[in-house]
Amino acid sequence: MTTDIILSGVGGQGILSIAAVIGAAALREGLYIKQAEVHGMSQRGGDVQSNLRISSEPIASDLIPLGKADLVISLEPMEVLRYLPYLKPGGWLITNSTPFVNIENYPDLEAVIAAIRTTGHAVVLDVDTLAKEAGSARAANMVLLGAASPFLGLEVDKMEESVRQVFLRKGETVADMNVKAFRAGLEAANSAHGIHG
């Protein structure tokens, strides 16, 4: 079993935290994990992308070839389109519907969302609003991770434990809020796709 994931977004959105939680959950299940360099970190608002590979066997390369990603998870809708060529047939796009408008000529949002939906395998959620409802706008990344969790092939309880583990250093309150945000995303994805679990 190998799951190849591309994480994308813009600097400051919490892509590294998503990678850290997935990595911790994979290790809890005794799986191998490789993560490629995260690009664009230095600049807040610049595009950020990371390759994450999880496998039951040792992994040779940390890079995901074109057309081979099982999932593209993005905190920014336009960024998800950038990585469409990496998605394998039948792969899933999980994205925020709220743009991070950091350029003057940002394309029409409805056209961007329509292009994402044409893949046929997309979960598009307003993770910003769900995060605010869960108690913190800053937890949008954990809402998105919750929405992606049914497609990761990892046990949801191990994912939740990993969310708590990653955020516990910031205190119990922050950890609880991020777990709540994760659950909100999971519930939204489940109800949007009739998944029960």
Q: Per residue of the chain (197 residues), what is the pLDDT tens digit? A: 899 999 998 877 888 899 999 999 999 999 999 998 666 655 566 778 899 999 999 999 889 999 999 999 999 999 889 999 999 999 999 999 988 877 788 888 899 999 999 988 999 999 999 999 988 889 999 999 999 999 999 999 999 999 999 999 999 999 999 999 999 999 999 887 655 44
Q: 């809890």: which residue's tokens? A: 28
Q: Which amino acid is at 159?
A: M
- Residue of 4, 144, 130 lying closest to 77 (CA atoms): 144
Contacts of 41 (CB under 8 A, 6+ apart): 11, 16, 48
| Buried/exposed code over 7-46 (b: 16+ C-beta within 10 A; e: otherwise) | bbbbbebbbbbbbbbbbbbbebeebebbbbebebeeeeee
Q: pTM to 2 decimals?
A: 0.91
Distance CA 190, CA 150 (A): 8
pLDDT in tens, 181-196: 999 999 999 887 655 4
| Buried/exposed code over 64-80 (b: 16+ C-beta within 10 A; e: otherwise) | beeeebbbbbbbbbbbb
Tokens of 131: 């995060």
Query: In this predicted structure, what is the pLDDT of residue 196?
Result: 44
Q: Report residue 14: phi and psi, to 5°.
A: 95, 30
Query: In this predicted structure, what is the pLDDT of residue 39?
Result: 65
Half-sphere exposure of 61 (CA within 13 A, CB side): 5
Distance CA 101, CA 109 (A): 10
Query: In this predicted structure, what is the pLDDT of residue 193?
Result: 66
Give the torsion sign (CA, 96, 97, 100, 103): positive
